[in-house]
Structure 1
């Protein structure tokens, strides 16, 4: 469904000056000191199968949020390719799409759920959920009907006429999830969507996501800094450090066989019963 090959993202006015230094094996801090360029992601490759939850995790500054924004080209990759299995066209290279085709991809095939909910305060809950369908040009009755179905799915069927300010943080995040689901996009990108929630609400949302995933079978790329969360919801987990993926595997593989000291420190405190 999604395949990344050698994706690199360098921030700065002259990113090409950093590429040979990366190839020479220099680290992020050295490259920034020498060139003033900031390495966000370096030579990342992975593939995501249809219908799986693929979790990208790491600490702040590891490159995980930069990477997910390269997937839908909110950030333009400096190097590498990102491929998407289009339902009508077969495998396409997202990095080579025109602006118009990229907009169509985002409208119909790739939704995003943000950490800060990003709800429109002046729109009702129902109209927030229906926003992506409005962008797609769907008729008002059709988008409201489908948005209501998504609200029912996330347990907010009676809240369509309310406004975001009337909802708790957990409820607002459910609205954000419903909005991401409403467009029927085959890929859902989720950037630390539950990190601002209280621990109990966070676990409830993780369980809700797993239940919805079983019903709808969407392909999900999920960003987190919480290994317990990754273990709880992920079919595969990619752990990032310094802009690189340092281990990729199933939750069980990572728990039983951490390949680096960095991963071992995460696993040491993980909850294996997740």
Structure 2
């Protein structure tokens, strides 16, 4: 019996995401971003979302679109980046932001997907990450409205470590280079980034794939994410698959001709 997880399109894939949902989103900067699933969620209208992602897109693109439409109330991320609207909402007291060390964020997602409730890590010991006091939300006047609580610290083999909780989200949105109809996925180069651990953390994981192949066409050694973590697959058109925006494009002018 075959298991076909391919759905008609991005709109159908995110149709049931409710207001107040927690959503893990793959990508790093603009690499490996599930562009079309994000845009479908924007059109779908769910709000009061908690977003778990390395960063929150850029102004006018990716998760930045959800921010601009006030669909996000809380972000768990490791990097604010170059998104001016993200910074503005955070400093104005319109957005709750839980900044987390990047490696810790990746492990929190992986742990949640693996059924691990929490783990100890040395990252953040001796800082506000462990001691508490990181501003999660501001008042409009800039004072701190909500600060992070202190976390448990224990010593293992003579080294202090802080307890971090695993993350499980209602939904995960992922971008893959290739997926088969059973949801097994392969990612391309740096676009793999957070996508596998994001997929693991979602109770409902949706993948937009640049190319969809029949089940069995992917060699087992080429599978980066097993289909057991995926519930829905959206096949992109060639035009959609070709969309890969760049955060910054730097070019160099022609070198002046050398004098004889």
Report the TM-score when normalising by structure 1. 0.28
The structure where helix makes up a greater share of residues is 1
Report the TM-score when normalising by structure 2. 0.29
Structure of higher RCO (CA pairs closer than 8 Å, 6+ residues apart): 1
The structure where strand makes up a greater share of residues is 2
